[in-house]
Amino acid sequence: MIEIGGFGTVLLFIVGGLGFLLVTLLVGKILRPVNPTAEKQTTYESGEEPSGTAWGQFNVRFYIVALIFLLFEAELIFLFPWATVFGDEELIAQTDGLWARFSMVETFVFIGILLIGLVYVWARGMLEWVRPKPKASEFKSKIPASAYKKFE
């Protein structure tokens, strides 16, 4: 019998996963009906007809806010072990509260670093949205302005 090492097991899982993927896609291609229509070929955009191109520019601030959100969301990952240690009465009793004090100090240091980051981002104005300046329309109507008085 052949002995498989650690990397061999990983290789088997990769090959098995790729094989499963290829077999699934092949069976789907064989079984699905092919009936393309003009409506099926259109782009779906939340139930609305798409307008413009897909290459629209987004404000960079969306990405900055998303990155800041991810930073503060990661805080939960680091606070979970603190809650586990703080909630374990046996561990706290065994060490005369040393782990409890250590975890409290560690948590306050961590939250302090996050607050410093928030103050930095706020002070740099990264949370402020750039408001567009309204532009007056340059359209010149052939209808005189007095004609609109009837509709007021």
Task: Lowest mean pLDDT of 14-23, 33-42, 52-61, 136-145, name the range.
Answer: 52-61
| Burial class of residue 73, CB neighbours in 10 A (0-12, 13-18, 19+) | exposed
Are 100 and 29 in contact, with CB atoms under 8 Å apart?
A: no
User: 141 pLDDT exceeds 90?
Assistant: no
Q: Could you tell me if residue 35 is inside a domain?
A: no
| pTM more than 0.75 | no
Confidence of residue 1 (pLDDT cuts 50, 70, 90): low
Count of domains forming the chain: 1
Rg (CA), the chain: 30
- Do the domain assignments include residue 82? yes
By residue range, what is the domain housing residue 119? 74-123
Residue 104 lies in a domain: yes
